Amino acid sequence: MSIDKFAIAAAMSGCAMLAHAATTYSVQTLPAPFVNGASLSPKTAILAGGARLEGNSHLQAALWSGKVVQVLPSSDTGDTFIRAVNDQGVSVGSVHGSDLVSSVAVAWSADHQRHDLPALVAGDYTQATGGISAQGDIAGLEFSGGNRWMPVQWHAGAVQALPMPAGQEGAQPMAVSPQGLIAGRSYAAGFLERAVLWAHGTATLVGPTGSIGLGVNDKGQVVGEAANAPFVATATTTQNLPVLPGDSMGSAQAINTAGVIVGDSACGCGTPGRAVIWHGGAATDLNTLMTPKAKAAGWKLYGAFAIDDKGRILASAQQGTGNWVTVVLMPVKR
């Protein structure tokens, strides 16, 4: 029976890798006034990012559905950072004060109304660093006494503390899956870090010592980096991910429901890294998967940091010798 299971698993993995090999990516730039991208909704192709408006030097939060850019109510006195958007069009982020220190976590409803989120302790600074689930649950961070990192969650506008991982002094949510699993980072004495998974009311340390969790899917797979090496972990297992040939370091930034992972790989020799996609545990340079048109246009992909369930990817890129920008890599079947 176990042999049959392994054979089936191997066959499925082989089919998946063949399907992946049959995909190339076109490069789509973001329309003005976008200056960067932050995340993609899991299925509905809404992009969340930052924009700059004429006459306002501060970063503004914005959404793009592929047709219309919607600049969200932000701040005229400080930068606004949008973290994530769900399939319902509800987005979350943080508005920062002119002092560059104070911050408040915010949510924007599907009709683009801004709602400031409460703190556990009035006056504490908050940030929606994790993201938002399909149900609208938001994960983030509150800076409590002594600048301690307190992980928090907002449900229906009310705030509550997330459990602190055993033996840790502080923690920060970094990603939220559609069904509300949360991945992040935590620290113990001496700021020794460890990735953490919050699931069903429990905080579990995952990954190796020195790790941070940067992405999570509904299967509880957490991706991140540890000592400049990419990994994927669950509550009970850890798998180191390979970097590209000739490289010595990398980071796994995001994972979708199917378990496809994106991130970056670098040589550590002072030159920019390369955007990577891991499929079935194998690393592929996304630069080699661009369409001939994108390659001829001179695009270079340095890192990937978001992937949705339809395979669309957000990446840091440069065309020729131009400025670094965020682009959307659109899957194209060969």
Model confidence, pTM: 0.92
Q: Which three-class secondary structure state does DSSP give residue 273? A: coil
For residue 320, is it within any domain?
no
Strands (E), 221-322: 222-226, 229-233, 238-240, 249-255, 261-266, 274-279, 282-285, 299-307, 313-319
For residue 233, is it within any domain?
no
For residue 256, is it within any domain?
no
For residue 281, is it within any domain?
no
Tally of structural domains, the chain:
1
> What tokens does 63 get?
């959404």
For residue 51, is it within any domain?
yes
- Mean pLDDT, 10 residues at a time, over the chain (334 residues)? 29 39 88 95 96 92 93 92 98 93 96 97 96 98 86 96 96 98 95 95 96 98 97 97 98 98 96 96 98 98 98 98 96 86
For residue 232, is it within any domain?
no
DSSP for residue 75: -
**CB 137, CB 145: distance < 8 Å:** no
Give pLDDT tens digits for 2-44.
223 223 233 333 434 434 555 999 999 999 999 999 999 999 9
At residue 22, the pLDDT reads 58
For residue 89, is it within any domain?
yes
At residue 20, the pLDDT reads 52
Cis? peptide before 73, omega within 30° of 0? no
Q: What are the Cα distances from residue 268, in Å, to 171, 248, 264, 276, 304?
A: 28, 6, 12, 15, 17
Q: What are the Cα distances from residue 170, in Å, to 106, 144, 147, 184, 187?
A: 22, 10, 10, 11, 6
Task: Show the domain range for 54.
Answer: 24-161
Give pLDDT tens digits for 212-240.
999 999 999 999 999 999 999 999 999 99
At residue 76, the pLDDT reads 81
**CB 327, CB 28: distance < 8 Å:** yes
Phi, psi of 2 (to 5 degrees): -65, -35
For residue 105, is it within any domain?
yes
CATH number (domain holding residue 102): 2.120.10.30
Q: Is the dihedral of CA 49, 223, 268, 328 positive or negative?
A: negative
CA-CA distance, 165 to 154, in Å (whole number)? Answer: 19
